[in-house]
Amino acid sequence: MNAMNERDLKIVTAAFGLFAHYGVGKTSMAEIATESGVARQTVYNAFDGKEDLIFAALLHYAGKSRADVERDCVNVVDLPGRLDILFTHLAEIPFEAMQRLPHLDEILEIGDGLSEDRRREIRETYKSAIRSALAPHERQLGQHGVALESLSVLLKGVLTHIKREARDADHLRVLFEPIKALIVGCARE
């Protein structure tokens, strides 16, 4: 999906907020149009339906997370610090959102049911954030048989799993610490 223009971003942001607060089934396209300040037909012209809006929102937030990771990694060179940045943007912040928004689980369930191509596009966006954060340590990891691409797949899966399984923010951190320790230990020369 190409970068969204300002109008489409307003529509997607409004739709995501309404879906997360009221639920996907209870939110109409007319309400999305009103919330985003556009005509209902404009929403229909820009998006094929609610699933299309959810895909666009999930991809947008994945891209935002990637940009946040890359921004925060600029001045952090140590591996534990970079892993903490990944944890913050790919687990902690989304977990906090999941706690505040009563229908976010419904959005995620629909996201899980997207076509494989769409799910892959979202996953690749997150994996590129992970690869970017860990790239300075690729050599050390590789010396211990850990390929950056494989690690990005594993870490993406772990972060997704722990944010869905954690009871609270402290438990989320407890669930992340073992994988962090394994990666840091593996990268030591």
Give the span between the Cα atoms of 73 and 57, in whole angstroms.
24
The closest alpha carbon to 32, from 21, 47, 43, 45, belongs to 43
Give the span between the Cα atoms of 144 and 121, in whole angstroms.
29
Find tokens 């991809």 and name the residue. 59
Report pLDDT for 102. Answer: 86
DSSP run (H or E) holding 101? none
Give the span between the Cα atoms of 112 and 116, in whole angstroms.
9
- If you write DSSP's letter for every residue of 10-45 in order, what string do you get? HHHHHHHHHHHHH-STT--HHHHHHHHTS-HHHHHH
Find tokens 């997370």 and name the residue. 65
Report pLDDT for 189. Answer: 63
Measured CA distances, 128 to 51, 92, 116 (Å): 24, 18, 18
Give the span between the Cα atoms of 41 and 116, in whole angstroms.
28
Report pLDDT for 34. Answer: 97
| pLDDT digit string (tens) for the chain, length 189 residues | 557 899 999 999 999 999 999 999 999 999 999 999 999 999 999 999 999 999 999 999 999 999 999 999 999 999 999 999 999 999 999 999 889 988 988 888 899 999 999 999 999 999 999 999 999 999 999 999 999 999 999 999 999 999 989 999 999 999 999 999 999 999 886
- If you write DSSP's letter for every residue of 113-173 in order, what string do you get? TS-HHHHHHHHHHHHHHHHHHHGGGHHHHHHTT--HHHHHHHHHHHHHHHHHH-SSHHHHH
Determine if the pTM surpasses 0.75.
yes
Q: Does domain 6-187 have CATH number 1.10.357.10?
A: yes
Question: Under DSSP, is residue 87 helix (H, G, I), strand (E, B) or coil?
Answer: helix
